[in-house]
Copies of this chain bind each other. A is one copy, B any other.
Amino acid sequence: MDNCLNNVFIKDIMTTNVVYVNPKEGVIKAFEILLKHKISCLPVVDEDKEIVGIVTTTDIGHNLIEDRYTLDTKISDVMTRDVITIGPDEPIINAIKKMDKYGPKGEIINQLPVVDDNNRLIGIVSDGDIIRILSKCLK
């Protein structure tokens, strides 16, 4: 198991076909994108595809239902700016540690954007991707 975990890298399990959004979009639009694609988070990128934030279905949905947003609320107004990212050449053990260490209030982070050396978005890795490879390692 340990051997297997040390020899699998983020680039081996990440999703490269990532749905992302511009910070100038409205939160309602972001929520629609999240639901339409059945995804739980949306990286926010600038025109150079550098990552500048992240929004999640749970956060946006919760604030919508609590009436904390208006029709004019922009993603840049509400996104998390302190994004925990990971590199494609890191072992998946690093993702497990980061998801646990940097999650809010005892929660874990469910998704880590994968970035190149210039902080440009190239993929995303989820806790589900890790469970899937763990299951393979256990066989």
B-contacting residues of A (Cβ < 8 Å)? 1-2, 5, 32, 34-36, 38-40, 57-59, 61-62, 64-66, 93, 96-97, 99-101, 103, 107-108, 110, 127-128, 130-132, 134-136, 138
Contact = CB atoms under 8 A, between A and B. Distances in A.
Contact of A108 (B36, B58, B59, B132): B132
A98 B78 CA distance: 36
A97 B135 contact: yes
A32 B67 CA distance: 12
A64 B61 CA distance: 13
A96 B138 CA distance: 9
Q: Which secondary structure dominates chain A's binding surface? A: helix
Contact of A135 (B1, B100, B134): B100
A134 B35 CA distance: 30
A41 B135 CA distance: 22
A36 B65 contact: yes
